[in-house]
Chains A and B, each alone.
Chain A
Amino acid sequence: MESQSSLEFKKLKFSYKSPSIDKKPILEIDTFQVMKGEKVFLYGPSGCGKSTLLNLVAGVLKPTEGSIRVLGHDFDLLSSSKKDQIRGEKIGYIFQSFNLIPYLSVKENILLPLWMNKKKDTSSDNLDGILKSLNIEELQDSEVVNLSIGQQQRVAAARALVGEPQLVIADEPTSSLDKKNTLEFMELLLKKWEEKRFTLLFVSHDETLADFFEKKVSLEELNVRSGKEQ
């Protein structure tokens, strides 16, 4: 049972500044668990700490108190460089916008995680498959700056997926897209999820997207702190 969980918070507290007496932590989560291969929709109003939580999951921030287990690693105990390594190898991350490095081509952007984590082989089959399934085959040699936002987000998804990660984190990846592009993006991403069954942690404040997911989590409800305040 334990080994089936991909993400597990226990008595987690987090605040940006050192926890002074009267400052309440931004996040205070008693328990939170995501199983392997699950896709989770995490929502909440702006400023409630969604991105902060993702940074904790990605191992960039360290919990002030409590424990956090990601893909079987105790992130509250590991060194930052070890967490950086795990993030590079096992986690894919999609930003809200401007995901791409402007001076690299589309193909270079997608291959970047493979180059940075030398352990993985740069198999071109994998790349072609991803390009095809995300509908960006023709764009691979384009300049990043010439892409539309919708295309950019799909390239970002391709980059997050190319290393076959066990966990994919998406921080409002569709908030800069229009309706049509949003739907296309969601369909392609979830098609990939059907295929690969990675754990997907999808954050948005757009609750209309919740229909794509079975498991929906409101951070406000999860967060003890904000619960108390209400």
Chain B
Amino acid sequence: MIHFITLKSIKNRKFTAGLCMASIALSVVLFLGVERLRKGARDGFTNTISKTDLIVGARSGPLNLLLYTVFHMGSPTNNIHYSTYQKLKKNPMVGWTIPISLGDNYKGYRVVGTNEDFFKYYKYRGDESIKLKEGKPFKGIFDVVLGSQVAKELGHKLGDRIIISHGLSKNALYKHNESPFKITGILDQTSTPVDRGVYVSLYGIEAIHIGWETGAPNEDKLVNPETITKDDIKIAQITSFLVGAKNRILTLRLGRYIGTYEDEALLAIIPGMALQQLWKTMGYVEQTLFLVSLCVLVVGLLGIIISLYTSINERRREMAILRSLGAGPASILGLLVYESGLLVFLGSLLGVASLYGCLFLIGPFLESEFSLFIPPQLPDVKELIFLFSILIVGFIVGFIPAIKAYKNSLQDGLTIKI
């Protein structure tokens, strides 16, 4: 009964009621949307690399090591000896490794020297591994595999030949003109920095630098890419390497062992922890977003109070009629509280529906353009608590106009005062 009257009454005030619901819906979308974006960004970020227990590089800042190894940002200060890498690789606590050698770029995208273990062991976003969209991993010295974004932005196809520039900066002085690389594979999109990498073998990196010992090409010593073989190349150093411990429990021990390695000054960091620390430094962004959506919510709830409150006077007559039919002042109170509660409920429902609609529509766009993956999962506990509190607050807020109506109807009785 009360439900029927309320529905009819809301329908009668379609416009204001609609606006109220829309503002509630909007704040729900904003709040949950921002929450989802935040979570998506955080998960995307902290899952940029997964299953890797340690990142090992020359001793420098842990943040720096993380940035250049995983995010292709900043520059490595020092390299480590390849022999050290090989020794550590044989350590019984080590399950697998992925070597990484940096120092060159291709049109601003960093060239990563590595080996086939990269395709085998590199994991991101939980348990996803690197997959090839087309072609094969690099095999020859001058084979190259492009990250998906590199291929897309530069419009490269399998078989294209590319020239790599010396140094990490796009405006490099020198180019490795004499030794072009052939594209043998293009990676699937990962929505991680992997998409922005250009992957070659460690041999390739070493080969193009023969004769570059001074930092500039020495024409006499340069190799002939036609004739050189892997046996001619001796890998001297790499920049860093990723380690998967044989057993996760060994991670700390292994880290300590590497950190105190005698032959070379090394640094081992746990990427998960480092990523989380890095994310925390950006906490103020999250807080700002949270505040903004909270403000929108307050505006929405204020809208409900205002619209109900202003309608109370117009509805005095209606209340007197209901009283003449046997409604007590408490029922009048209940009616209005129910009405605002229903508005908030429908508004939040609309908001949740719009949220999923939005995720469905712009999710793929966010993933491809911003590398932001937002899983369209059901609301989690935190979100449910939020929705529930909106409902509670909606009901409480409904009391403000309702108490006014209650007082009116006590005063008016069955006398209509307009």
Contact = CB atoms under 8 A, between A and B. Distances in A.
Interface of A: 51, 54-55, 58, 60-61, 80-81, 84-85, 87-89, 93, 95-104, 108, 112-113, 115-118, 159, 171
Which of B320, B325, B330 is packed against the most chain A CB atoms within 10 Å? B325
A88 B327 contact: yes
A93 B12 contact: no
A99 B326 CA distance: 15
Contacts of A95: 320-321, 324, 414, 416
Interface in B281-321: 317-318, 320-321
Contact of B415 (A51, A88, A112): A51
Contacts of B331: 84
Contacts of B323: 60, 84
Given A103-B8, A103-B9, A93 B1 contact: no
B15 interface: no
B328 A93 contact: no
Contacts of A117: 325-326
B179 to A, nearest CB: 81
B11 interface: yes
Nearest to B415: A51
A118 B130 CA distance: 68
18 contacts: A51-B415, A55-B413, A55-B415, A61-B413, A80-B329, A81-B330, A85-B326, A87-B324, A87-B326, A93-B324, A93-B414, A98-B317, A99-B321, A102-B318, A104-B8, A113-B325, A115-B1, A115-B4
Interface of B: 1, 4-5, 8-9, 11-12, 317-318, 320-331, 413-416, 418
Contact of B326 (A88, A104, A108): A88
Contacts of B1: 115-116, 118
B221 to A, nearest CB: 92
B11 A103 contact: yes
**5 shortest interchain CB distances as A-B pairs:** A88-B326, A103-B12, A60-B413, A93-B324, A84-B328
A108 B325 CA distance: 13
Contacts of B330: 81
Given A103-B11, A103-B12, A104-B8, A116 B328 contact: no
B317 to A, nearest CB: 5
Contact of A100 (B12, B321, B327): B321
A85 B326 CA distance: 6
Given A58-B413, A95-B321, A103-B8, 17 more contacts: A55-B413, A60-B323, A81-B330, A84-B323, A87-B326, A89-B326, A93-B324, A98-B416, A99-B321, A101-B318, A101-B321, A104-B8, A113-B325, A113-B326, A115-B1, A116-B322, A159-B325
Contacts of B325: 87-88, 93, 112-113, 116-117, 159
A58 B414 contact: yes
Contacts of A84: 323, 326-328, 331
B328 A80 contact: yes
A50 to B, nearest CB: 10
A100 B325 CA distance: 12
Nearest to A55: B413
A157 to B, nearest CB: 13
A36 to B, nearest CB: 21
Which one of B11, B12, B414 has the greatest number of beta carbons of chain A within 10 Å? Answer: B414
A30 B238 CA distance: 110
A104 to B, nearest CB: 6
Contacts of A99: 321
B414 A55 contact: yes
B327 A116 contact: yes
A60 B410 CA distance: 8
B329 to A, nearest CB: 8
A116 B326 contact: yes
A134 to B, nearest CB: 18
B330 to A, nearest CB: 7
A97 B321 CA distance: 11
Nearest to A92: B324
Contacts of A96: 416
A88 B321 CA distance: 11
B315 to A, nearest CB: 9
